[in-house]
Amino acid sequence: MRYRGKRVLVTGGLGFIGSNLSIRLVEEGAEVTIIDSSVAGCGANLFNIAPIRGEVRIVDADLAEPEAFRNDIADCDIIFNLAGEISHIHSMQFPERDLQINTVAQLRFLMECARTAPGVRVVYASTRQIYGIPDYLPIDERHPIQPVDFNGVHKYAASMYHQMLSRTGQIDGVVLRLTNVYGPRMALDVPCQGFLSTFLRRLLMSQPLQVYGDGRQLRDPVYIDDAVEAFLLAGSARNLEHRTYNVGGPQALSLNDIAEIATLAAGAPGVEYLPFPEEIRQIDIGSYTTDSNLILDDLGWRPTVRFEPGVARALAYYRENLARYLDPNHPQPSCRMPEHSGAAWRLLYAAV
């Protein structure tokens, strides 16, 4: 019980990874406080924490205003920092919005951590997207950083805040660069959250999957339980030799493989092949697979859940709780956010 009696802060704890992590932390005996402002489009869902609702404290606060929960920062032993926007398409549509959520808010939060809880362990959820189009596969931590969208740029900047403040001893940061994570509690009704959430939504609505291009692009999906274990290990490890780790899945699968496995598990109609929409083609990275040897060597982490049982578990969860994640009258949310979103965020952060 690595976390028994530990006071833990989870930012973005109502979202997909944050909620699953919070549940595991409670199971391990931690006292959990969740910080989440439920920003539209970022996947917060109160039902995600239904199993532990009475055992956690929830603070409705914006990460960009950390003075609102300063005492919670001061009182915690470990911070898991999962708040943020993950949509690559939305970052291209509204780059200033992505900038404010993924960099400005992160900087304000981390500076408050450094002031209020100097030296606190902060585990940050970064993304494989920072690497951009691969120069080689599988990608290790030494691969050049060459993101193809604003989300990758901004998430990398936030990871550098964690690294810089760690080098100067102000926090004790660890950065996890995650591949495509999937499983229970992923948002299905939020547009542009990645192809796996789109696949799951279409499977649950008995619709054919849609694959752009020829489907030969490689991915290595990681099941949520494996991703959570990586966070738990990074949060509890001491005397770390490294500060940044790739977290990938156990299999390199083509999109064709993923689609075939998923449709068989769901009994769905099949697959449609479509040309790339221009807004997706511009930020497509081709194939990606992860070299996770560093986190294996340092922390003993390895993924254990293959895609076949993982997608079956996800489908079973959503079939039992579908009304909590998807409105059957609106099963295909548009990827385009309302045009006023950009203006609203400019007004909100006008003082920045």
Task: Please give the mean pLDDT across all residues of the chain.
Answer: 92
pLDDT at 324 over 50: yes
* Residue 209, pLDDT score: 95
Domain boundaries, the chain: 7-334
* Residue 335, pLDDT score: 52
Q: Let me know: does 278 contact 216? Beta carbons within 8 Å.
A: no
In eight-state DSSP terms, residue 220 is: -
Give the homologous superfamily in CATH for domain 7-334. Answer: NAD(P)-binding Rossmann-like Domain (3.40.50.720)
Give the number of residues written for the chain: 352
Least confident residue range of 137-151, 165-179, 230-244, 318-332: 318-332
Q: Let me know: does 278 contact 250? Beta carbons within 8 Å.
A: no
Crossing angle of helices 255-266 and 195-204, rounded to 10°: 30
pLDDT at 332 over 90: no
Q: Is the pTM of this model over 0.85?
A: yes
As a whole number of angstroms, the distance between CA 98 and CA 192 comes to 14
pLDDT tens digits for range 13-41: 999 999 999 999 999 999 999 999 998 77
As a whole number of angstroms, the distance between CA 114 and CA 119 comes to 7
**CA of 222: how far to CAs of 15, 42, 180, in Å?**
17, 20, 6
Omega prior to 138 cis, within 30 of 0? yes
Q: Which residues pair with 80 in a beta bridge?
A: 10, 123
Q: Let me know: does 234 contact 352? Beta carbons within 8 Å.
A: no
